[in-house]
Structure formats: C-alpha cells, structure tokens
Structure 1
C-alpha cells in the first residue's frame, strides 16, 4: 500500500517536470 501511495504522489510531480522539459525542448526546436 505504501508503495502505491508513493507512486501516486510521485507520478504527478514527475509528470509536471516531464511536461515542462518537453515544452522547453519543443520551444528550442521551434526556435
């Protein structure tokens, strides 16, 4: 149960970071 909890708490944070990195990479490629 604790492992699932950690994943649920960790997933959204990592998702946000991944989205930001992807956006930055896309912006750099566009420019």
Structure 2
C-alpha cells in the first residue's frame, strides 16, 4: 500500500508540475 501511495503521489505531483512547465514554455514562446 505504501508503494501505491508513493506512485500516486508521484503521478499527482507530475500532473501538477507538467502543465505549469508547458504553460511556462508557451508563455516564453509568445514573448
């Protein structure tokens, strides 16, 4: 169960950080 929690936390963190990175790259391309 702990391994599943670690994977879930990692996936959740990726789902939060990846869109921010994409938006930041897109904004940098517009400027």
Q: CA RMSD in A?
A: 0.9
TM-score (norm 2): 0.69
Unpaired segments ≥5 residues, structure 1: none
Residues of 1 paired with 2:6 and 2:25: CA distance? 27
Aligned length: 28
Q: Which ranges of 4 or more aligned residues in structure 1 deviate by more than 4 Å?
A: none
Residues of 2 paired with 1:12 and 1:6: CA distance? 10
